[in-house]
Structure 1
Amino acid sequence: MMVDSVVPSHASTGPQALLEAARRNDAVGISKLLAAGAAIDLRDDNGQTALLIATHANAVDAARALVLAGADVNAKDRIHDSPYLYAGARGHLEILRLTLAHGADLKSTNRYGGTALIPAAERGHVDTVRTLIAAGVEVDHVNNLGWTALLEAVILGDGGPRHQQIVGLLLDAGANPNLADRDGKTALQHAQASGFVEMEKRLRAAGAR
């Protein structure tokens, strides 16, 4: 089995140049370096590939150049982030769509055992949630905390319009409103406890109890 090369993050020349080009959103530089033989999935000492570095910076041009050249959209770093997972969690929608079109593993999970949908729901990224649901990410996946995307949207959300919309999207996609957390509390009970009246209405309309 081949092991990706590792380059110290302090290096300033040689293979490190691809990682720096990704950080600068230098698509032209990336194309030149790849044509000269740079290893596309080379990693720094944090396990990050050039594509993940570009994703962290929401450097769309660099990410596009790398993805179209065949960069691995599922390559995880040392804390189990991948370009696909990070783009979903942070709402970097253009990069997320690139990863989905080029082999994103919808079942892959982050260090909390969650799919990309769960942090997207928690952070209020409405269009990202819509995109991930349309892509086919499992809406009722349970992470290591015992929470689904629906539970996180209620428990960790602010109860405002974005999270209300996300709750609606998840319910419309078939999320089970009665899945409870490890303490036996459902999304409805959390919404009631937080005074999220609109969420409570949406949950009741979907059969929550």
Structure 2
Amino acid sequence: MIAALVGLAAAQPAAAQFSDAYNFLKAVRDKDGGKATQFLDKPGNTIVNIRDNDTGDTALHIVTRRSDLPWMGFMIGKGANVNAKDGEGSTPLIIAAISRFSEGIDLLLKAKAQPDVQNRLGETALLKAVQNRDTTSAKLLIDAGANPDIADSSGISARSAATGDPRAAAIARMLKDVAVRTNRPVQGPTR
């Protein structure tokens, strides 16, 4: 009887042995729109925001990392959480800033991505744009209300990074017009 069950399990297609979540994220990674849509169109599902067990990536993280604007729009249209954090605490907006993907930043901001979310190191999308000396992305983030005075875990803010790097002079000039802001107190318990 055990041999029959083992034989039956081996006869099933390999894809059937994995969860819907795994197969959905695989379809996104493989750019298989038909397969991804099959999972997304199931009634009552929330698979669009499922996370990879190893990286914490959602589908939106995956497509943002590859700078794939059409797939980003598709995932956002299907209800992807634009403020979801991966295993490092990075949102798709931070990933787009790291990649100098200004079109992705623009799309995410239009979809209501919060510009001041910090990753595990305390970095914001604006700080990453300044570190990359990416004036286009920095301007998009500043125009969206990003706070240049949020410091990362080492005490560096986007404003201090821009003024301290002569190669980021254009961004430093943009930040001169932005009023200095103190960080808002954290809501909720402090322990």
Identical aligned residues as a percent: 28
Whose Rg is larger? 2
Distance (Å, rounded) in 1 between the aligned partners of 2:94 and 2:163:
21
Distance (Å, rounded) in 1 between the aligned partners of 2:94 and 2:51:
18
Q: Per residue, is there more helix in 1 or in 2?
A: 2
Distance (Å, rounded) in 2 between the aligned partners of 1:55 and 1:138:
24
* Residue among 115, 119, 125 paired with 1:143: 119
Match of 1:196, as an amino acid? A
TM-score (norm 2): 0.75
Query: What residue in structure 2 maps to residue 24 of structure 1?
Result: none
Deviates more, 1:112-121 or 1:101-110: 101-110
Query: What residue in structure 2 maps to residue 16 of structure 1?
Result: 14
Deviation at 1:65, TM superposition (A): 4.6
Distance (Å, rounded) in 1 between the aligned partners of 2:127 and 2:25:
28
Secondary structure, in 3 states, of the residue corresponding to 1:73?
Answer: helix
Distance (Å, rounded) in 2 between the aligned partners of 1:13 and 1:128:
43
Deviation at 1:135, TM superposition (A): 0.8
Structure 2, unmatched stretches of 5+, are 1-8, 182-191
Partner deviation per Cα, 1:11-64 (whole Å, 9 max, x = no partner): 9973434xxxxxxxxxxxxxxxxxxxx69x825xxxx62221232234445434
Residues 126 and 62 of structure 1, relative CA distance in 2, 3 Å threshold = farther
Query: What residue in structure 2 maps to residue 115 of structure 1?
Result: 91
How many residues get paired? 169
Deviation at 1:207, TM superposition (A): 3.3
Deviation at 1:133, TM superposition (A): 0.7
Deviates more, 1:143-152 or 1:50-59: 50-59
Partner deviation per Cα, 1:140-194 (whole Å, 9 max, x = no partner): 0111101111111122x2x2xxx21110011111111111222322212212333
Deviates more, 1:186-195 or 1:133-142: 186-195
